[in-house]
Amino acid sequence: MKFFIDTANLNEIREANDLGVLDGVTTNPSLMAKEGITGESNIKKHYVDICNIVDGDVSAEVIATDVAGMIKEGTELAALHENIVVKIPMIKDGIKAIKHFSNEGIRTNCTLIFSPGQALLAAKAGATYISPFLGRLDDVSTDGLNLIHEIRTIYDNYMFDTEILAASVRHPMHIIDCAKIGADVMTGPLSAIMALANHPLTDIGLQKFLADYAKGNK
Ligand code: G3P
């Protein structure tokens, strides 16, 4: 299972990368805005900065919503660095753009996936990754993990190469459940990744080991 971090914050990206388990980064326009990164040239520079930290796939999202605009923007983003994956929204023109990039050998991440049908269509178009937003489905009282299950079944039935990138992950149990289902990738906040390491019995056990060592080695 690949671990991506879902942020545009360079310090958080460095911290996750330093852990040695980071396989990539996802961003979106909201995450860029949250870090105060605005303007085309600043945004592009920020993508390059991220690529220079992490040796893995970095999703860079297009803003255009028409096929010609998405192709122009996506081509420019892909040229920034070999690790860039062009992130395209699941809309009609987005499907056409994904097909174009697939033919050109440019990798894509189809974002804003909320149904199995959308995931099927994106795979048919040749998306490298699809991003089902499980947390946002949970937010509206719909089982987000069930969507990951359904997509896994469909992709396995037909041996699609498209990777399921579970997105909108909010906490460590989302990560564990996605791993049980067989999502290829998860992208989540640093807090969820770090929380996987915690267990009170680990802390208690370590304290006892150290105390016992200290007693015998005075
Ligand atoms: O990768 C998609 C993700 O950024 C959405 O997460 O928490 O805003 O639903 P969230």
114 ligand 1 Cβ < 6 A:
no
Distances (CA, A) of 43 to 46, 76, 80, 83: 5, 12, 11, 16
Q: Determine which residue's CA is closest to atom 6 belonging to ligand 1.
A: 168
Q: How many whole angstroms from 169 Cα to the centroid of ligand 1?
A: 7
Calculate mean pLDDT across residues 5-31: 97
Q: How many whole angstroms from 103 Cα to the centroid of ligand 1?
A: 28
For a mutational test of ligand 1's pocket, the pick from 12, 136, 140, i.e. the residue with the most ligand atoms closer than 8 A to its C-beta, is 136
- Which of 54, 59, 69, 45 is CA-nearest to residue 22? 54
Q: How many whole angstroms from 209 Cα to the centroid of ligand 1?
A: 40
Active centre residues (catalytic): 87
6 ligand 1 Cβ < 6 A:
yes
Q: How many whole angstroms from 109 Cα to the centroid of ligand 1?
A: 14
C-alpha 154 chain-centroid distance? 20
Q: Is there a contact between 178 and 200 (Cβ–Cβ < 8 Å)? A: no
pLDDT at position 186, please?
98
Q: Is there a contact between 7 and 190 (Cβ–Cβ < 8 Å)? A: yes
Q: Ligand 1: which atom is nearest the Cα of residue 135? A: 9
Instruction: Give residue-wise pLDDT tens across range 119-165.
Output: 999 999 999 999 999 999 999 999 999 999 999 999 999 999 999 99
For a mutational test of ligand 1's pocket, the pick from 2, 28, 186, i.e. the residue with the most ligand atoms closer than 8 A to its C-beta, is 28
Q: How many whole angstroms from 25 Cα to the centroid of ligand 1?
A: 12
Instruction: Give residue-wise pLDDT tens across range 80-122.
Output: 999 999 999 999 999 999 999 999 999 999 999 999 999 999 9
Three-state SS across the chain?
CEEEEECCCHHHHHHHHHHCCCCEEECCHHHHHHCCCCCHHHHHHHHHHHHHHCCCEEEEECCCCCHHHHHHHHHHHHHHCCCEEEEEECCHHHHHHHHHHHHHCCCEEEEEECCHHHHHHHHHHCCCEEEEEHHHHHHCCCCHHHHHHHHHHHHHHHCCCCEEEEECCCCHHHHHHHHHHCCCEEEECHHHHHHCCCCHHHHHHHHHHHHHHHHHCC
Going by pLDDT thresholds of 50, 70 and 90, the confidence category of residue 218 is confident
Distances (CA, A) of 51 to 34, 38, 123: 19, 18, 26
Q: Determine which residue's CA is closest to atom 9 belonging to ligand 1.
A: 168
Q: Determine which residue's CA is closest to atom 4 belonging to ligand 1.
A: 168
pLDDT at position 145, please?
98
Tokens 């991220």 identify what position?
Answer: 50
pLDDT at position 36, please?
98
Q: Is there a contact between 172 and 195 (Cβ–Cβ < 8 Å)? A: yes
Distances (CA, A) of 182 to 124, 136, 156, 178: 20, 20, 10, 6
How much is the mean pLDDT over the chain?
98
Q: Ligand 1: which atom is nearest the Cα of residue 189? A: 7
Calculate mean pLDDT across residues 18-38: 97
Q: Determine which residue's CA is closest to atom 8 belonging to ligand 1.
A: 168
